[in-house]
Amino acid sequence: MENNNIDWANLDFGYIKTDYRYVCNFKDGAWDEGGLTTDDKVVISECAGVLQYAQTVFEGMKAYTTEDGRIVTFRPDLNAERMENSARRLEMPVFPQDRFIDAVVQTVKANAAYVPPFGSGATLYIRPFMFGSNPVIGVKPADDYQFRVFTTPVGPYFKGGVKPITIRVSDFDRAAPNGTGHIKAGLNYAMSLYAIMDAHRQGFDENMYLDPGTHTKVEETGGANFLFVTKDGKVVTPKSNSILPSITRRSLVYVAKEYLGLEVEEREVYLEEVKDFAECGLCGTAAVISPVGKVVDHGKEMCFPSGMTEMGPVIQKL
């Protein structure tokens, strides 16, 4: 399989159909043997649980080509574990973690021609997901489910250099106290669409969501966790049970502590203290780390000393 038609450097974060995807069905209380298919279409009842009551969870990770030409994925074991937690919270059957990893490996191997070359900046994004597939009209969990994994090549996040973004403190909430903010479910994104479009209409790149209980503490954005750096070089990341536990953040915290010898605090972060930080970034599989230059709280601007043209030094190192 060859793929010479894709201009890796100019890809967006968008969907490009690749050759194979993995499909496995849950019926009569068990997952079938599953396997690869070339069919990208899903045919389900108009009354499927996912269509009526949004019973669906997903994951996201990337595959890369190494310098010596191997293809590797980043910590699929942690995505498998997180998807198990997401499924349990939505009363869905668990797709076994070892099978999840096998499905990811099979799908990436089958689409090896779409894994961008080393140094291109592009990656193969991997999307595992699961949904209730049989008719459900009374509110209850579906009986049948489908698990799928597809891949799509995505471009470098920082096309034409890094540009720090401006975010606003949102009046909307992302997650309810004791709700579903900590799981990767489509429902968390459906309800964030209005808030992100509203932010864009007002000229902001992203929303900073606060804790839904008191609106005094920093949570995260619609799809990425926060990292802050104090003026004395400490890395601080918000802790809350309604934040989606980012695998990228987990790795960056490890890198900060173990490789860079930095002090790291995972703790509640008050909106009040944001103005005192030296650097701010957003982290996630898609964003890697995106520098934040400015946070605007209802007209009050908080500008980080790292400025609006470059990444701060600690974020850059990370």
Ligand X SMILES: *Cc1c(COP(=O)(O)O)cnc(C)c1O
Q: Would you tell me which residues interact with ligand X (CB under 6 A)?
A: 60, 184, 220, 223-225, 244, 246-249, 284-285
Q: Is the CB of 144 or the CB of 219 nearer to ligand X? A: 219
Shortest Cβ 89–ligand X spacing (Å): 14
Shortest Cβ 150–ligand X spacing (Å): 17
Calpha distance 225→306 (Å, rounded): 19
- Are 37 and 147 contacting, i.e. CB atoms less than 8 angstroms apart? no
For residue 147, the cross-strand partners are 24, 130
Q: How does DSSP classify residue 256? A: I
Shortest Cβ 37–ligand X spacing (Å): 26
Which residues are tagged catalytic?
A: 184
Across 22-47, b (16+ Cβ under 10 Å) vs e yields: bbbebeeeebeebebeeeeeeebeee
- Find where tokens 């869905």 sit: 92
Shortest Cβ 267–ligand X spacing (Å): 18
Q: How many CB atoms lie within 10 A of CB 284?
A: 20
CA count, 13 A, side-chain hemisphere, 66: 7
Shortest Cβ 27–ligand X spacing (Å): 29
- Are 130 and 83 contacting, i.e. CB atoms less than 8 angstroms apart? yes
Q: Is the CB of 116 or the CB of 284 nearer to ligand X? A: 284
Q: Is the CB of 169 or the CB of 244 nearer to ligand X? A: 244
Shortest Cβ 277–ligand X spacing (Å): 19
Calpha distance 39→9 (Å, rounded): 28
165-169 and 206-208 as β-strands: parallel, antiparallel, unpaired?
parallel
Q: Is the CB of 107 or the CB of 285 nearer to ligand X? A: 285
Q: Measuring CA to CA, how many Å separate 151 from each of 78, 104, 109, 124, 154?
A: 18, 9, 11, 6, 9
Q: Is the CB of 62 or the CB of 136 nearer to ligand X? A: 62
Q: Is the CB of 224 or the CB of 295 nearer to ligand X? A: 224
Q: How does DSSP classify residue 185? A: B
